[in-house]
Structure formats: C-alpha cells, structure tokens
Structure 1
C-alpha cells in the first residue's frame, strides 16, 4: 500500500508522535496550520468515515480531546482549538487515510473557511424539512 500514514505507522517514514496505542496514533503535521498541529489517525488503514468502525471513531474523538487539552496546557499560542475532518476529495482530503486535524487557533492566525455567496441566503425552511427526512430515512 502506498499510504504515507501507513508508512509512518510502520516506521519507514519519520514522525513526531505525541500519542500511540493499539488503535490510534497522533503525530505532528509536517505542514501545520499553526504550531502544535496534530493529526489523529486510526492504526488500521481506513480511507474515510465509511471505512472506520464506530468504536475507533469514538476513540479518535477521545484522543483528539486529550490532544486538544494538552495543546492548551503546552504553552503554545492557543486561544481556541479546531477539530477538522476532511472526508473525501471534495471536502479537501489530500491523504486518503482517515485523519482528524487538531490545531490551535488564535486571532489573526490567517486560517479560515471560505463560504460561497449562497451561504448568506438562508434556504426556505421547508427545504430543511425535506433534507432532514432524506437523511433520517438512512439512519
């Protein structure tokens, strides 16, 4: 498999780990949004949410929370924390091994999300009901 994160996990590529157990690993992002940017990944290869177990998803969130608390306590510049998951190419996923970004934020750090012009026009309330029904039908 030609997955950079799998190579990191097997030790053939270097990384600075902050956490590792039998199911989850967390290491420093080599292209950080801000200093202290950590990636939390499953040890077992999974491309996206559809490929990861509910138990591993819960564990990744638990570890992400612990990493967030550690970033805040570390002395690194941090006024807030972002948890960011890109699931699929259209969602800006670049490495196709599930990973949660955990990174510190502070005013003026330059990171942001861009909204389309349509975002600023609220949809008809009835369309929200239609969308809710479509989603609920598959839960």
Structure 2
C-alpha cells in the first residue's frame, strides 16, 4: 500500500483527526477508535513501515521508541504497577488491519491469556 493511501500516515499528517496523547520526533500516539480496553492507545512510527517483516536494522531506534512511549503513557495513566499489555500484530491472520506498524497499549481491566 502506498503511503498516500495509509490511514495512519493520514493521521500522522493531520489529514484525519485523532485524539493525540503523545508525540515526539520518532512516534505519534492516539486513542484507538474501537477500544478493546478502558485504555487503548496506538503508537505509530512517523516513518511508514508496513509490517514487522519490513523493519530494518536502521529502524531499531525508531521501533524501540514505540515501547518507550507506551511505557511513559502507561505510567502517566497509572497502569505501571497494576499492569498493561503491549501488542504488535503482523499480517492479516494476526489481526493487522492497517498496514503501518503500530503498537497497541491495552490497560484498565484484567487482560486474560491467551488473548484469542
């Protein structure tokens, strides 16, 4: 999918509104429009990367910044001690519906395992 057709690139570029909760030079985070938990935030890199399979060695810092940002938001929302889940789906069978890598932060309720 070309970057120009990517939903998350359009959010990144301000073409589609979103409730932004974090942004820095590497990533952008916003509330999921179909939350699966009381806290459900998506963290995307500013660079378009379609799937985890497309991450390169050059993307290490960029991808690592998603986890750091998720931990920061989890702490700010009071989930660091009670627990939270971070998930990155890859390809359709794993539930990836937008082909721009994104990390899900889920918290605010008991999360069971396995997830489904």
The correspondence of residues 17-36 of structure 1 with structure 2, limited to 5 A, is 17-36=20-39
Q: 2:68 aligns with which of 65, 70, 73?
A: 65
Alignment of 1:113 onto 2:112: no
The correspondence of residues 1-139 of structure 1 with structure 2, limited to 5 A, is 1-75=4-78, 79-107=82-110, 113-114=115-116
Residues 104-135 of structure 1: per-residue CA shift (max 9 Å, x gap): 1533x678623xxxxxxxxxxxxxxxxxxxxx
What's the TM-score, normalizing by structure 2? 0.77
SS of 2:11's partner is: helix
- The alignment yields a C-alpha RMSD, in angstroms, of 2.5
What's the TM-score, normalizing by structure 1? 0.66
Q: Distance in 2 between matches of 1:86 and 1:47?
A: 11
Higher relative contact order structure (alpha carbons within 8 Å, sequence separation ≥ 6)? 2
Residue 4 of structure 1, CA deviation: 0.8
Residue range with higher mean Cα deviation, 46-55 or 1-10: 46-55
Count of residues paired in the alignment:
112
Distance 1:72 1:20, change over 3 A: closer
SS of 1:61's partner is: helix
Unpaired stretches in structure 1, ≥5 consecutive residues: 115-139
8 A contact 1:39–1:101 mirrored in 2: yes
Residue 16 of structure 1, CA deviation: 1.6
Q: Distance in 1 between matches of 2:38 and 2:19?
A: 13
SS of 1:37's partner is: strand
